[in-house]
Homo-oligomer: A and B are copies of this chain.
Amino acid sequence: VRVLVVHAHPEPRSFCSALKDLALEALPAAGHEVALSDLYAMGWKAVADAADFSERADPAFLKYQAEQRRAAETGGFSADIAAEMEKLRRADGVILNFPMWWFGLPAILKGWIDRVLAVGFAYGGGRWFDTGPLRGRRAMVAMTTGGLPDRFSDGGLFGPIATVLHPLRVGTLNFVGLDTVEPFIAWGAAQVSPERRAAYLAAYRERLLGFETAPLEPFRRLADYPSPAPRDH
């Protein structure tokens, strides 16, 4: 199978980058094909703006989602966005590899989401969740945290990790049709012992080799939720 790894860490020798390197080694060794988007190394443009389109539906007023919809019809995305879309089309699985910053994605990776998961490409026209254009693919979060798991428990200071990851899992990955497997989390990567880090790498290798067969997390199907309210509430 083909796996796209989207990586977002500024230091190539960080532990987070070691997770990325492991995926690049372990997946091909098991016969899989890997593509990499190393966002810092690519100098990825994080900010969604008018330069993302080669021509405009309305050059005088930037309605970003409307421009995405048009660009999806005309092929009018900037080259960097179009290249990432092609990687996603060719992939059977996607791994987002990043350090958790402020309970979420580093801005450079959020900008990959903002710009690449465009209306008309990744959702829109009634296609989302179980009718999403990226349906049939699976996604895994591979992330490092500063905090340890007790902080992210039900009674922990930070709240449950499922709540912390809700915008990413439900609001982003499931939204465009991607199934998810259990996230791989290297808790407290910067503060744990070398032995613990080695154990994380060994565990992640197993997770990588089982990525395509691992159980899927619950997925919200449109039929299970009430119809939307009238447009003007």
Contacts and interface: CB of A to CB of B under 8 A. Distances in A.
A164 interface: yes
Contacts of A101: 48, 114
A17 to B, nearest CB: 11
Given A13-B61, A157-B220, A225-B156, A232 B196 contact: yes
A105 interface: yes
Copies of this chain present in the complex amount to 2
Nearest to A153: B226
B167 A102 contact: yes
Interface string A100-114: 011111111011011
A184 interface: no
Interface of A: 10-11, 13-14, 40, 44, 46-50, 61-65, 101-108, 110-111, 113-114, 117, 129, 146, 148-151, 155-159, 163-164, 166-168, 170-172, 175, 187-188, 190-193, 196, 220, 222, 225-226, 228-229, 231-233
